[in-house]
Structure formats: C-alpha cells, structure tokens
Structure 1
C-alpha cells in the first residue's frame, strides 16, 4: 500500500481487512502529514486530531479487520460550510469564530455512519462566494502543487487537502463552480451532483439563503481517483424528508458508451491555448474509450453565464451583503462588488423574475439537446491554475476579463446539472440524475490521463 496518505479507499480498506494496518494508524499517519504540510498550505482550517484518533481506535476495537461500512477507515476533510459536531461552523467569517456546532449536518451523519473518519474542516473564503480561498478568519489557502498559486474556491481547502494527502477524500459544495474549479486547480477529481441528489439539512443555517441555493447549489466529493468519488456518492445520495428539494430519484447508468458533444466557446468563454490542448487530449481519450465525439453541435449558450450572474449577483448585492457585508473581509467584499456589480438587476422584481424565466427557456432548449448528446466535454475554466492573488482587488475591468475565462463553469449550475471535473481542468457534464454515466465515462478515460500524484509542497 505504501504510505496511508497516498492510498485510495480500496487500498486502505484492503490493508485494514488484511491486518496490515489499523484505522488508528491510518489516522495517525494523516495527522503527522497534516502537521508537516498544513503550515504551508493552510488548507485545513480546523483539525479534530484527538477526536478522530479516538473514533478510529473505537472502530478498531469494535470491528477489527471486518469492514463496517463503505467508507470505514477513510480519513475525510469536510468543507467549513457543513456542521461537524464540536467544530466551528464559520463560512470563513471572523464573526462566527465562536460558533460551535452541537450536531452534524445530515450529509455528515451519512458519512460517519458509513465509517468515514472526519479529520476536520477545509478552509473556505468568506461566505463561500469566490473562485479563490481567502478567509477573513483563517487567511489564504495555498495550492500544494505550487504554493504561489490558488487552490480555487470556494471548496479550495478541501481540494488542496486531497491533493496534498491530508485526507483521502473530501466533501464540498458547488453553487458556481466551487467543487469543479478547486479540483481543476489542485489536480484532483471533483464531482458536483445534480440538484436534489444530496439533501441539504443543516444544523446551522448558512448566510441569508435564497431559491438560487435550492436550484443551483449542490454537494459532492473530491478524490484522487474516480472510484473514490463513486464510493462517497453512494453514501451521500438519496432524498431526506427534512429537505423538500431533495428528490427520491434513482441514479441512472446507460448501457453503452454515449455520444459526446464538445463545448469550446459556445458560452462565450475565452480559452487559453493550454486549456485548448488539454481539451483536445481529453477528446482523444474519449474517442479511444469508444465514444463518438462530435464538434460544433453544442447550442449557443452565450446568455447562460450572464443569467446565472444576474440571479446570483442580484441576490448577493440586494439581500446578502446588506445583511452581512460588514462581516466580510475587504478583499471578498470588493470581489463581490466588482464581479457581480456588473450584473446586478437592482430591486425591480420584474427584471429579476424575467431572469428566472429566461433561465427556464434556456433550460428547455438544453435538456432536449442532451437527449441527443447525453455527455458534454468542456473546459472548467479558460486558464491554467492562476497565482494566489489573481482575483484580489483587481478592479472592474479585470473582473470582467476574469468572468470571460470562467464562463464554462456557470451554465452547469444554472441548469442544476451534474459535472465531473478531471484533474487536467476539463469537465464532463450530463443529464440530471445520470451521475453514474459521468463516473463510468471518467473511469474509462482515467488510465489515459496523467496519474494523480500526491503533491509534495515541502519538496519531499
């Protein structure tokens, strides 16, 4: 197996079942790794070392070599937008530094019940609204593959934890790319589930919520392999009676390789040559895996990113910031003002309602297209991993230019679709409730992509 912090779920569990290691030894190895690496990455905001060791020891005593669940013995990082009993639930805000969760969110309970060992909270930006991870409470997270570069956001701490071997898998959420962007920047796999697949039953409500969270925000895992994503998905998926938006729909896998449509600039995205090369290489891998890949058929979705930004931005600037804006780090507040101020529809409810109606019209068109081409391959963002301060006080003009490079992200959220980010910065997207198609396709091309190695930010 090698070092526990380099192992997959299957490797960890095989070692437990074979008596080669114990759950407590696995946790201890990860805690040692965290002690050495986290001062450089600042990706774990909070670590529950004693608690995780005690839980691992208890599981060893109760179960020995017998596996007691699909995630038994697996160290996990949980985004600091989920309540974990005994940890602070902050959304990155200093004002919430003393807010301790007295219970677990439902999705965290499901992970624990499956045997997962929660190591701690991954760092997040203020309000979890940013494609970078800079927290007013915890500071900036750094990419373990290059400490001068961003982890992405808003689940940047969790993506970095998986990339650096501080956790085997992690749980994030994605309202505007917050799983897929960090996965791409940190070079790991990340799965954004369909709206309604994973229930949202929080112990502590998030910042002022809105219908956008129900329609566009979803949860999902990070991992260093497709199989690890699949293992977590089977645990967290499924409706819950306390979440009226969750859907008791079976997840569907098709029997044969599906036709794939290529999305390049149909959203108006600006793509750098390196991203074009990665997209081309992924197209070749899909063809070698038996998929019929078709160019120049994807419908024009140039309005989709704007509609997403108009809905999200209007909510942020007219509901959220007036209530909690004074609690947000200056760079986060300025980022929201500069980026989403470009799309604010103001207080006129008619304009806001018209944006939702336009969303539905675009959605009607897209779902019909996806019946003919059930899989889409596209960039996540239009640039390789950027510097740490790429979005910090850059001004309105540069914010508008950044938006152009992020346009391949938002259409997936706008329509509540599932998307799987590959470590090379490319994503696969499909119809709602067809996550197994994403996983099967990604698994088929995984051997054809560069392997995901654990990052060594301290040089070995």
Structure 2
C-alpha cells in the first residue's frame, strides 16, 4: 500500500512514496485498523527515522524505543483479538516535555527538573494513550517552556529542518521539527503566547490553539485564570482535527472544560468556504512590526481566500489593552508556577526566566484587577467584531525562522525588541482574546524558510477555523513541501553547535 506525497515546489526534496513516516495520521490509523500494516512496522519506521535524523535536528528527547516497541506488539495483539480499539491505535507520538509522562523523564528543559520522573500522566497524555497512541519519548522545549525559541541547558537547541542554522520556534519547537521530519505523525503541545502556532509556522506544519476549555488540563494550579491552553499539531488540518477529537471533551477536574464531546471534531471537514466574510490585517491593527519577507510570503495567501469565494477586506478588532493583559497574566502565571523555586535555584535559571518571575513578584492587586477589566472589554470588542466577520487572517509570527544561536530576534522590521516576548505579539495578542487560532502553512521566503498564516475564529469557533484552514490547505498544498533531502536522509550536518 503506497501513498504518494506531492510537493508544491520543484526544488523541494523528493520523498519515498512508500515511506510510512510521511503518510498522514488518518491514513496510518486506517491502515493499521485494516491490518494492512502493523503497529510494529509503523513504530519501527519512525524509530529508524529518529535514529537517522534526530542527531542533526534534536527534536526528540528522552527516547523510550524499547518500551514503544513493546507497546506496538501489544497493540497488534489487541487488534488481532478483535477487541475495540481507539482512533489513534498504533500511532507513535512523542509528548511535549512540559507534559508529565508516568515513568518517563520529564525535565521542562530545566536543570532544576533534569532528573525528574513523574508517577502519573498529564490528562492530555492520558487521552492520547487511551485512544491507542504509543509513546516514543518527549519533544524538546525552551527552559520551563518560556519563549518561542526551543533551547535549554539540559538538551540544547532544536534546529529547523528547513535550515539547520535556524530556530525551530517554540515552545512546542521539538514537536514541530519532529513532525516536519517524519519522526511522528501527530503531536501534543501547549500555547500561552503562541507556542503551538509559532513552531507550526516555523516548521511548515499545522498547529491549533483551541478555545480555552476545549482541551481540559489537569493537574493545573490555577485552572480558572490561566491563558495557557493545550492543543494538537500535525502535518495536515485533517490530522489536527483527528488529534483534537481525542484531546477535547469535558473533564470534571478542569472547571473550564467545555461540554462538547471530542467526537464532534471527528467528522469530514467541508472545504467549501464560499460567502464567508474574511478580515485580513498585516499588523493586527496596532502597528505590530512584521518583517517584509513574511508580509511578502503571506500576500498571495490572502488572495487565495478571495479565489475560494470569500469576501475579503482589511480590518481588525480593536486590540488595545491586549499587551497589558498578556504581560500581567503571564508574569502572574510564571510567579505562581515557579516563584517558590527562585530563591533556591536562581543560579540554575536563565536570566529571562528570573526576569519574568520577578515581574510576577512585582504585581499588585490593582494590576491583576486592571488585567481582568481590560480583558473583559477586549472580549466584547472581539465578540462584536465577529458579528460582522466570520474569520480574521493574520501573520502567525512577525519574523521567519531566525539564527538558532540568538536568544530571540533583536529587531523586527527595524523596530528593536527589548525582551524575549516582544517579537511574539502577533500571536500573544490573540491569546488573550480567547479565540481559537490555527497556524497553517502558507508560503516560503525567498531563502526557503516556512511562513504560516494565522486563521482566527469567533469564540468557541474551533470547527469553523479548522474548516477554513482545510480549504486553504487543499487550495495551496504548501504543507506538502518537505525539508531538504539531506536532512530527511539523515546526512544533514551541523557545522556550528555552539547554541547547543
């Protein structure tokens, strides 16, 4: 059984049409279910790809190959017995190294937790395993998940498979790079200020920041007030929807969790978006700087929606105050999570981590009240905006993948970036609206670096966002373009490992 993988660019690398590692998750799951290919064959193929490719890319950490092969054998035996199986039965997945995995090292990319082995799974991991997914290991993250550049003192930097001298983004950067290289067909991630969307954009894959509560989270220190969400990544929108169908659905341990069952996202995505009213904003209406090469790559993408029959015009909701809401809530969240560790472990934490925790220490009651009131006003302005428009299109990231040796871009379109958060505004301003947002492959820079389009929908409009992303994906096929053959064949070289 072969699957042909096409490419939208003649310069992109050819991919072996029999390579299981680039089948879609949907096709793989169906083939395993029909017993046309075994879970052992699928897991073995992905482990072999990891062995060849991961040394150069550094996306997968804490690999548990023997355990994965044992679970694959058990999956085949279960299927042969005629027992009911889940929708992800036999699919390999590595979990984000911020998500606890029972019996598997979970470090958060921090020396403070370098030897930590949890005794229970995070709820997201529980749901993926419960649906039949097989754990390969973990995916690399920034230290404590802070920022959109995956580098840490424990495992080093994850490199972009389209150019090994560039960043893979973050904080789900390991997940994005692993997907792009065929090391796993689906991934879990989390997103506070863009951590599902930015690495999807940087690695030419798909990442969804779902509506808050769509994917329940447990354990969680502050389930009522967090701006963070958990969500899926994959190489196609259909595979993201498949993964969401397993991750989503209510859980009594998360008071925010929405009642809609995950099965609502398991249906066929309809590609017809004719008549939708679509707004496009290159700067989010608040003069967010975006590099010219990103704007140039996205300009044709916006035209695609008009060609699909949508009514497109330039517009954006009033996002004033969103900066203050995000920065206050993030600092509060960082202090809550890691503040108690700072006194003892300051010398083992990066300067950015220390800075953000100390920002939380300095917050007052009126600061938190201001953030709450501004976010309430923002919610209603955005709600009103989506009474006129069905979708909002934006840049995912303000820059293309940057030098992996940098902590973050020093400037964007000539505007200096003062902190590690500043260059993420195009994503984090949307985080605090509470809207679902999808990053879908949209184009490449002249230098061959991926650029994603951010598709934002109304509150709880996750299905609408997926439908629009699917229509765009089918019309453009940008996501079919794979990393260079030298990387996929395991012969990619890294001449400068100073960042890792």
* 1:123 aligned residue: 140
Instruction: Classify the secondary structure of the residue corresponding to 1:87.
Output: coil
In the TM superposition, residue 9 of structure 1 has moved relative to its aligned partner by 1.5
> How far apart are the structure 2 equivalents of 1:105 and 1:315?
19
| 2: CA distance, partners of 1:22 / 1:429 | 38
What displacement does 1:74 show? 1.4
Deviations 1:97-138 (A, max 9, x none): 222122222221211121111211101111111111112221
Aligned to 1:242: 253
Q: Any conservation in 2 of the 1:310–1:345 contact (CA below 8 Å)?
A: no
Residues 126, 136 of structure 1: 8 Å contact kept: yes
Q: Which residue of 2 aligns with 1:25?
A: 41
- Report deviation, 1:14: 4.0
Which position in structure 2 is the counterpart of 1:304? 322
Aligned to 1:182: 199
Q: Is residue 281 from structure 1 mapped to residue 300 from structure 2 by the alignment?
A: yes
Counterparts of 1:64-103 in structure 2, within 5 Å, are 64=80, 68-103=85-120
Q: Contact 2:227/2:329 (CA < 8 Å) preserved in 1?
A: no
Match of 1:458 in 2: 487
> What residue in structure 1 maps to residue 456 of structure 2?
429
**Cα distance in 1 for residues equivalent to 2:237 and 2:257:** 24
* Secondary structure at 1:451 match in 2: helix
Kept after mapping to 2: 8 A contact 1:318/1:347: no
Deviations 1:137-181 (A, max 9, x none): 211111112111111111111111111111011000001101001
Paired position in structure 2 for 1:220: 231
- Per-residue displacement from partner, 1:12-39 (whole Å, max 9, x unpaired)? 1343345442110110111011111111
Decide whether aligned partners of structure 1 residues 338 and 172 sit closer, same or farther in structure 2, where only a CA change above 3 A counts. same
Q: Secondary structure at the match of 1:282?
A: helix
1: CA distance, partners of 2:239 / 2:308: 20
- 1:5 to 1:52, Cα distance in 2 relative to 1, 3 A: same
Q: CA deviation at 1:264?
A: 1.9
SS at match of 1:148: strand
**Counterpart secondary structure, 1:190:** strand
RMSD: 2.8
Q: In 2, distance between residues paired with 1:317 and 1:18? A: 49
Match of 1:389 in 2: 405
Q: Structure 1 residues 139-148 or 225-234, which shifts more?
A: 139-148
Question: In the alignment, which residue of structure 2 is the partner of 1:136?
Answer: 153
* Cα distance in 2 for residues equivalent to 1:189 and 1:458: 20
Residues matched between the structures, number:
450
Matches within 5 A, 1:315-330: 315-316=333-334, 320-321=338-339, 323-324=341-342, 327=345
Corresponding residue to 1:41 among 35, 43, 57: 57
Match of 2:424 among 391, 406, 409: 406
Query: Does 110-119 or 58-67 show the bigger shift?
Result: 58-67
CA shift digits 1:336-379 (9 cap, x unpaired):
466898x7793332123112211111111111111221211100
* Rounded Cα–Cα distance in structure 2 between residues aligned with 1:148 and 1:310: 33
Distance 2:273 2:479 in 1: 25
Counterpart residue number, 1:370: 386
> Please, which moves more after superposition, 302-311 or 277-286?
302-311
8 Å contact 2:410–2:418 — kept in the other structure? no
Check if 1:145 corresponds to 2:162: yes
Q: Distance in 2 between matches of 1:383 and 1:393?
A: 8
Distance 1:279 1:394 in 2: 22
Name the counterpart of 2:76.
Answer: 60
Q: CA deviation at 1:201?
A: 1.3
1:171 alignment counterpart: 188
- Between the aligned partners of 1:366 and 1:275, the Cα distance in structure 2 is 25
Give the C-alpha shift of residue 83 in structure 1: 1.6
Report the alpha carbon displacement of residue 427 of structure 1 after superposing the two structures with TM.
Answer: 0.7
Q: Distance in 1 between matches of 2:336 and 2:350?
A: 13
2:331 aligns with one of 300, 306, 313: 313
Seen in structure 2, the aligned counterparts of structure 1 residues 334 and 325 have a Cα distance that, compared at 3 Å, is farther
Whole-angstrom distance in 2 between the partners of 1:224 and 1:131: 19
Q: Report the Cα distance in structure 1 between the residues aligned to 2:437 and 2:258, rounded to whole angstroms.
A: 18
Q: Is the 8 A contact 1:74 1:168 kept in 2?
A: yes
Q: 2:9 aligns to what?
A: none
CA distance in 1, matches of 2:253, 2:370: 30
Q: Which residue of 1 aligns with 2:286?
A: 267
| Contact 2:394–2:455 (CA under 8 A) maintained in structure 1 | yes
**Over residues 313-341 of structure 1, what are the superposed CA-to-partner deviations in whole Å (9 max), with x where a residue is unaligned?**
355368734633764787x7323466898
Per-residue deviation, 1:274:
1.8
**Distance 1:242-1:318 versus aligned 2 partners, 3 A rule:** closer
Q: For the Cα contact (< 8 Å) 1:267–1:303, is it kept in 2?
A: no
- Deviation at 1:93? 1.5
Q: Could you list the per-position Cα deviations for residues 272-303 of structure 1 after superposition, in whole angstroms to 9, with x for gaps in the alignment?
A: 122212322221111122221121x3133243
Q: Which runs of 5+ in 1 are unaligned?
A: none
In the alignment, the residues of structure 1 paired with residue 419 and residue 67 of structure 2 have an alpha-carbon distance, to the nearest angstrom, of: 45
Unaligned runs of 5+ in 2: 3-17, 442-450, 490-500
> Within 2, Cα distance between the matches of 1:227 and 1:3?
19
